[in-house]
Amino acid sequence: MLIALILVSVIFMLQTIYFMYYKSQVKDIGEQLSFISKHHSFKFIQTQIKPKEIYQLIDVCNTLLRNQREQNQAFIRKNEEINETIVSLSHDIRTPLTSLDGYLQLAKRSENIKETTHYVTMAQTRIKQIITLVDELFLYTKLQHMDYQLKLKSMDLINMLKRRLFFFIDEFAKNGTEPHLDLPESPVYIIGNESALERVYENILRNYFLHGEGGLTIRYEEKQQEVVLHFSNLLKQNELINFNQIFTRFYKDDPSRSKPSSGLGLSIVKSLIEKMNGSVYAELMNNQFCLSVVFTKTEGGNGDEPASRSNYRG
């Protein structure tokens, strides 16, 4: 009987000690959480002795702290992006507006009809730059909404490209170059959106005229069920491209933002192509900037037989 009483007493004492230990551990966790919250510390909860239940509690608390910090960092990055966007937009809109006002003032003061016409023409150019910027900003904003979908249908990838190249015939003439085309003679069908594909081609070509040098080469490649268009050209001297950011909104290769561009062109290209279930990537290949557009080939027209190819300029 005495032995049993002693055993019960020992067990009770051990339970009391264990309970007090648990209590001290929970209190310590609470104090660490309070310190972390008060001082915005990046520390995690620690303890030297970890019973299973306490260990699980600490693990859950540290996971919550880790997630909160990741969310805070994401919020900070997002806030920085918003601030950079505001600065970029302010600069890109203010610059043509300032020169527009200057040209209008000069036109107003000039008594020479030829000079007045020149100033008015330059002012109209600045107005077009502002309209283009606002248009690209509006389109980019629409494309960021997950519920914004394009109406897709079967269409000829090559015919659309040739039509858009013809639209830029004057720009090629001013540039003193002709595009070198390595394209199939027969149609190549994909599932896409006509207006979206036109805008993709337009932005890629405008990017070439703004940043490229020498001739533009457009090469077709077929990989099983995928079709690829490679747009390649030399870069202008001293142009440095950050390939990790090239499809980022408002990205420009010149920090001074001196070129008449919104910095949204290739970002819009990427968004539109992805809306058509394609992909796009950029790389430096043989000392040339190469932009590659990838789509899934589909049946249409004359079927999906391998297309014959033609090398020509035009």
- Residue 245's pLDDT band, with cuts at 50, 70 and 90, is low
Dist. CA 310–CA 219, nearest whole Å = 10
pLDDT digits (tens, 9 = 90+) for 140-198: 777 777 777 888 999 999 999 999 999 899 888 888 888 999 999 899 999 999 989 99
Dist. CA 205–CA 229, nearest whole Å = 13
- Residue 310's pLDDT band, with cuts at 50, 70 and 90, is very low
Instruction: Sketch out the chain's domains with CATH numbers.
Output: 153-313 (3.30.565.10)
pLDDT digits (tens, 9 = 90+) for 250-263: 555 555 444 555 56
Residue 295 has pLDDT above 90, yes or no: yes
Residue 71 has pLDDT above 70, yes or no: yes
Per the CB < 8 A criterion, the answer to whether 264 and 257 are in contact is: no
Q: Is 190 helix (H, G, I), strand (E, B) or coil?
A: strand
Whole-number pLDDT of residue 14 = 60
The structure's pTM equals 0.62
Distances, alpha carbon 173 to alpha carbons 2, 63, 168, 170, 261, in Å: 111, 61, 9, 5, 21
More confident residue, 210 or 26: 210
DSSP characters for 137-182? HHHHHHHTSTT-----EEEEHHHHHHHHHHHTHHHHHHHT---EEE
pLDDT digits (tens, 9 = 90+) for 88-101: 667 667 777 888 88
Q: Exposed, middle or buried: residue 238 (CB in 10 Å: 0-12, 13-18, 19+)?
A: exposed
